[in-house]
Amino acid sequence: MSKIDRWNEKIWNFFASVDLAIALFIIISIGAAIGTIIPQQTDPEAIVRFFSKFLPPVSAMKAYEIVNLLDLNNLYHSWWFTFLLFMFALNLIVCSTDRLPSLLKSFKTSSHPLPAQVLEKMPIKKKIDNIQPNILDKINGILKNKGFSIHVFETQEGIQIQAQKWSKTRLAVYLTHLSILIILVGTLMGTFWGFRGSMNIVEGTGLNFAISDSGKAIPLDFEVRCDKFEAEYYENSSIPKAYRSYIRILENGQVIKFDNKENVIIEVNQPFSYKGITFYQASYGFQPSEHAEFRFTYFDKTGKEHKINARFEEKFNIPGTSAIASVIDFSPALGIDEQGKLFNMDTNMINPAVLVQFDDKGKKTEQWILTRIPETWVTPYGKLKFNELWGAQFTGLQIRKDPGIPLIYIGSIFLCIGLFISLFLRPITLFVTISKDNLIFYCPSSKTSLIIEKQINEIINKLKGENI
């Protein structure tokens, strides 16, 4: 053997090593666990704040330097983690290539009777005495009915039967290896060709880009427009019950319809996907803009409803009256305490309220109107309900594109099938010897002893039912 051949053999044996597979699996698992603990792809301040929770400030800075040096804050895109995944994939491929031919060859190998001394060393042995002369036909029939393929040999001691079931299920381990490789490919595709980011869109506006977790702009070849955002709160509480965004997709200036509808509703746990990009409802906030307008519903004396929209300090008529009104103040979350005093509860639009000034032929009055308190809607000029300040909220959407997800799903299905077969359909090999006085079952494996003994007991009970 030449020097090059010896080196090739050493390299092959290195990658064919099961020890290498176990070591790589442990290191990758530890790395993945670290990645779930340390904040990923975020600014240094966030990482320092994370370590400051359980370390002094100086130590937290040192910890950040180590994290930054090892790329632990960008672990899934780091060169060393990617290298480990490639090594693990290569190890699986070489292991499978090294062992699969010998397994396939074993399926084609002809059976031959085993010596008695070999059978006696097997861990499982069950004996039946006082058998009848026609026992061979009975046990052959029972084994075949239970799905065993059998080979019968005549030996010096009598008859030896070799029965096998599920022998091909040993290939399931290669299905498991293949599934892991598919999942790794899917993961790497998501790492290199996918992205994750966010976009905050103010009501009435649109964006054609998102901001990645690392702060870079991600251009989109379409516009995401938020026509409306609304949040519902539990009664007498600032805790949101639900919040949703009414989104439109515009491409080349044209609105894209989905199920003949222009608007798409995105809610928590109800994401929306377009062109492989998935949009998730993540957050919301208050951000007044120039185009924001106050929206009212006025109920006249006959009960008829009138919709009124007006901007800040813009005058509007109260229908059917001589009064003119205008909004002169606003609060996103105005509440009334037990003494009847007004106070601001929050910066979010929990209970938007407006201070409306009425001018009726020179007589000016002012009144706060709160969205969630109907008693405040009653004015000297009729019932004036304040619906919302449209255009003053933004919806926070998280976006994600991962082209490797279909492969990860396929790999996961293969993995489940492979594990199921490996765990519950393990190959069973039985040896049965028949002599003049007795019948003995042997089994060479003790890994599934409970299952095998159960199978043997069922066969014995069947034989007893047919009068051994």
Residue 239 token pair = 């805790």
pLDDT grade, residue 467 (50/70/90)? low
Does residue 2 register a pLDDT over 80? no
Query: For residue 405, is it within any domain?
Result: yes
Residue 274 pLDDT: 94
Distance CA 354, CA 334 (A): 9
CATH number of the domain to which 456 belongs: 3.30.160.110
Greatest CA separation for the chain: 125
Answer with the one of 37, 72, 106 that is the final residue of a domain: 106
Distance CA 359, CA 301 (A): 19
Scored b (16 or more CB within 10 A) or e, 200-211 reads bbbbbebbeebe
Distance CA 309, CA 388 (A): 10
State the sign of the Cα–Cα–Cα–Cα dihedral 16, 19, 22, 26.
negative
Does residue 231 register a pLDDT over 60? yes
Does residue 282 register a pLDDT over 70? yes
Q: Are 90 and 15 in contact (CB under 8 A)?
A: yes
Q: Express each pLDDT in 120-129 by its tens digit.
A: 888 888 888 8
Query: For residue 356, is it within any domain?
Result: yes
245 and 375 part of one domain: no
Query: For residue 401, is it within any domain?
Result: yes
Task: Please enumerate in sequence order all residues whose Cβ is within 8 A of that of 433, keeping only pairs 6 or more positions apart, or say none.
Answer: 116, 119, 155, 157, 158, 159, 160, 161, 439, 440, 442
Q: Which residue has the higher pLDDT, 275 or 340?
A: 275
Q: Express each pLDDT in 358-405 by its tens digit.
A: 999 999 999 999 998 899 999 999 999 999 999 999 999 999 999 998
Average pLDDT over residues 186-194: 87
pLDDT grade, residue 50 (50/70/90)? confident
325 and 408 part of one domain: no
Q: What is the pTM of this model?
A: 0.67
Task: Please enumerate in sequence order all residues whose Cβ is within 8 A of that of 266, keeping only pairs 6 or more positions apart, or say none.
Answer: 244, 245, 247, 272, 279, 280, 281, 395, 397
Does residue 446 register a pLDDT over 70? no
Does residue 111 register a pLDDT over 60? yes
3-state secondary structure (DSSP) of residue 272: strand
264 and 343 part of one domain: no
Strand 293-299 and strand 382-390: the pairing is antiparallel
201 and 60 part of one domain: no
212 and 230 part of one domain: yes
Residue 466 pLDDT: 58
299 and 385 part of one domain: yes
Distance CA 277, CA 350 (A): 31
Domain boundaries, position 324: 293-390
78 and 30 part of one domain: yes
Number of domains the chain contains:
4
Residue 447 pLDDT: 63
Does residue 468 register a pLDDT over 60? no
User: Long-range contacts for 17-21 (Cβ within 8 Å, ≥24 apart)?
Assistant: 17/91, 17/95, 18/95, 20/91, 21/88, 21/91, 21/92, 21/95
Does residue 174 register a pLDDT over 60? yes
Query: For residue 46, is it within any domain?
Result: yes
Query: For residue 371, is it within any domain?
Result: yes
Q: Quick one: what percent of the chain has pLDDT higher than 90?
A: 43
12 and 90 part of one domain: yes
